[in-house]
Amino acid sequence: MGSKRVAERAGDLLTGWVDRLPPRLRRLLPRELVGFAMLGAFTLSVDLALLVLLRHTTALPLPVAVSIAYLSAFGLNFVLNRTINFRSHAPVGPQVLRYALVAVGDYLLTVGVSSGLAAVGLDFRVARLAASFTVAVFTYTTSRWWVFRDRPAAAVPAPQDVAADRSSSTV
């Protein structure tokens, strides 16, 4: 069984239940959104587990440990969403670049919303939770409609069509 088929089966196992929801609810919870949320929860747990592991087994400063865990989880999230959730077949290079820009936006939103809400008096934990919802909407939206949107390949004429055009134009 090819890796493409394995990814499709994994995606179906992850979000296939959405197809059995009532139509109205299915419109509110498309499979890609559900898959994105489930994969996000999984990679968040990987992020936190890796952070705990790094803190207990290394002498790395907290910012370094947080960065390693965060970047590892974001990388895993990219691979899982590309293959299992969005099932993208577009060239990976441009997607990695766009996803890296999303990661920067994710970070800036997290810091900005958390800090801003805490500055106006909201408890930092509530502020961080509010930031995570903001970031989730941003990241899903940009992933769905920008990072993993497979663009149709430009129509390239077949060599015989080019030759036929040349011969007809010289007559």
pLDDT tens-digit map of 14-61: 888 988 889 999 888 899 999 999 999 999 899 889 999 999 999 999
Give the Cα separation of 86 and 32 in Å (integer).
6
Percent above pLDDT 70 for the chain: 87
Percent above pLDDT 90 for the chain: 51
HEC secondary structure over 93-142: HHHHHHHHHHHHHHHHHHHHHHHHHHHCCCCHHHHHHHHHHHHHHHHHHH
pLDDT at 1: 63
pLDDT at 36: 95
pLDDT at 162: 44
Task: Please tell me the pTM assigned to this model.
Answer: 0.76
